[in-house]
Amino acid sequence: MTRAILSCTGLDKSLGSLAREVAIRSAEVLGCELVCPVLLHSAPARYEIILANGDLIVIDGCPTRCATKLANQVGAKIDRKVLVTDAVKASGLALEPSLSLGPQGMQLAQRLVDALVRDITAGIGTPEDLASLKAPDDYLIVMQDKYQFRIPAREYAFTENDTWVRIVGERAFVGVSDYIQQKMTDITYVAPPASDDAVEQFGELGTIESAKAVLEIIAPVSGTVVEVNTTLIDHPELLNDDPYGAGWIAVLALTDYTADRELLLDGAAYAAIVQRKAAAEAG
Amino acid sequence: MMETDKQTVLVIPCSGIGKVHGLISREATYLVTDELAPGQTQTQCLALLVKGDADAVTAVQSHPCITIDGCPKACAQKNVEIAGGTLVKSVRVVDAFKTHRGAEPGSASGLTNDGWTIAREIAEAVTAEVISRIADREVAP
């Protein structure tokens, strides 16, 4: 199920600025699409598929509820609503009057994001739910000579060390990229991390081995290992066949994703790195 | 309804959610309204306008408007025109990038130095337009 967030634009009131900040941060954490309310009004076809298939979270800044009204105008089904005015009152924090959020506003924004993410992920993210990962449909393609390297266009983040992370609630699937599995050729052995291992971002998260190399898996995020893909021990070829789906290596309970994500790359940025690496190897 | 001189210029950015271009349009607007021309300009929430809020519609109809759009969809410009607003200038952030090839402006949640440079250039161009209008008004008979 695709989830999307439609937020107040937050232009001329501090409550709106807060709503917008909460929307952007929540979308990053939850891997949601952000829906621009004005574009939704002006070009609703742009969001037709997302709104038809997904759960819509609406975040309004003030009781005028522009975002909710715009969603209703296009007949979007709203799954969840947040009114920032109420949340501010409940928090007991005073919001600075300026349009740019100060430290108090940022603190409040993070608190609201945490609450929303907890609410959204309640009941999901159990190991049973996480035992499988469907590969994405939408890829960026990097070409180099006869080789093609696929990089998920959305929902995955990457490190320069060719590992990826996909966030599901407060947990994260991690794995290695299509580029590195092709570079290693047939992967013959996987030494996954142990359950309950605590790992820091860019720390080691097991190894994979092929006839060409042994690769240390670099953790894209900090966390505790809560699930290991033990299927890979008997079927390491899954890493070659389906690196972004069945070839996931471990699931981590996140410990500091807000900080970790600052050092992660989106698909486009990682694609540029793959292009450089592949060209250097070819050349 | 805002209590303003009818000559106060409304600077209206696109919503700017989800893309860095939109954030540049928003920050450029704040630079104009808060720092470069605070007495002569104000902003107006675009979502409120497209929702058909009567005060917002009256505001764009009774004040000169300058729109700053992030992308070529030009939501701000189009919606001010649809509302019957008095559009005196429209600016597109994407056009500013033509003179900043290779710039890395940041993301939807924060601008880099490159992003702030572009935002300030746009803000200065908009402010120049505002000052020019004021000068024309002062010399008019």
Helical (H) or strand (E) element with A53: helix A48-53
- Numbers of helices and strands, H then E, in chain A: 12, 15
- Residue pLDDT, tens place only, A141-174: 999 888 899 999 988 999 999 999 998 877 899 9
A269 to chain B: closest CA residue: B104
CATH class entry, domain B9-97+111-136? alpha beta
The burial of A240, by beta-carbon neighbours within 10 Å (0-12 exposed, 13-18 middle, 19 or more buried), is given as middle
Q: In what order do the strands lie in the sheet with A171-176?
A: A156-158, A163-168, A171-176, A250-254, A223-228, A198-199
Sign of CA dihedral A255, A258, A264, A268: positive
- Residue pLDDT, tens place only, A69-121: 888 888 888 888 888 888 777 777 776 666 677 777 888 888 888 888 877 76
Among residues A280, A218, A226, the alpha carbon closest in space to that of A252 is found at: A226
Question: How far apart are the C-alpha atoms of B32 and B35, rounded to whole Å?
Answer: 6
pLDDT at position A99: 66
B48 to chain A: closest CA residue: A66
If pLDDT is split at 50, 70 and 90, which confidence band does A270 have? Answer: very high
Residues of A whose CB is below 8 A from B75:
36, 38-39, 42
For an interface test with B, which of A5, A28, A32, A38 has the most B Cβ atoms less than 10 Å from its Cβ?
A: A38
pLDDT at position A97: 67
pLDDT at position A17: 84
Question: How far apart are the C-alpha atoms of B6 and B52, rounded to whole Å?
Answer: 21
Model ipTM over 0.85: no
Q: In the predicted model, what is the mean pLDDT of residues A220-245?
A: 89
Query: Is some CB atom of chain A closer than 8 A to the CB atom of B51?
Result: yes
User: What are the extents of the domains in chain B?
Assistant: 9-97+111-136
Token pair 């939501």: residue: B75
Strands B64-69 and B86-92 come out as parallel
Question: How far apart are the C-alpha atoms of A166 and A133, rounded to whole Å?
Answer: 10
Using CA atoms, how far residue A85 sits from A61, A72, A90, A91, A92, in Å, is 6, 20, 9, 10, 11
Residue of B14, B16, B44 with shortest CB distance to A12: B44
Binary contact (A67, B47; C-beta < 8 A) = yes
CATH class entry, domain A4-121? alpha beta
pLDDT at position A124: 46
Query: Residue A107, Cα to own-chain centre: how many angstroms?
Result: 21
CB-CB contact of A254 with A221 (8 Å)? yes
Query: Is some CB atom of chain A closer than 8 A to the CB atom of B63?
Result: no
pLDDT at position A281: 85
pLDDT at residue A1 tops 70: no
Q: What secondary structure does DSSP assign to A141-207, as a single string?
A: EEEETTEEEEEESSSEEE-TTSEEEEEETTEEEEEE-HHHHHHH-SEEEEEPPPTT-EE-TTSEEEE
Q: What secondary structure does DSSP assign to A90-105, as a single string?
A: HHTPPPPSSSS--HHH
Q: Helix A14-30 crosses helix A84-91 at what angle (to 10 degrees)?
A: 100
User: What are the extents of the domains in chain A?
Assistant: 4-121, 130-282
Using CA atoms, how far residue A154 sits from A55, A138, A217, A267, A275, in Å, is 17, 7, 22, 7, 18
Give the predicted TM-score (pTM) of the model.
0.58
Binary contact (A99, B30; C-beta < 8 A) = yes
Q: In the predicted model, what is the mean pLDDT of residues A182-210?
A: 90
Give B64's strand partners: B86
- What is the 3-state secondary structure of A220-261? CCCEEEEEECCHHHHCCHHHHHCCCCCCCCEEEEECCHHHHH
Neighbours of A74 (CB within 10 A): 14
Residues of B whose CB is below 8 A from A35:
17-18
pLDDT at residue A127 tops 70: no
pLDDT at position A176: 96
Token pair 């949640």: residue: B109
CATH class entry, domain A130-282? mainly beta
pLDDT at position B117: 96
Residues of B whose CB is below 8 A from A101:
none
Average pLDDT over chain A reads 85
Low-confidence ranges of chain B (pLDDT < 70): 1-6, 138-141
Local structure of residue A41 (DSSP, 8 states): H
pLDDT at position A122: 59
Residues of A whose CB is below 8 A from B119:
none
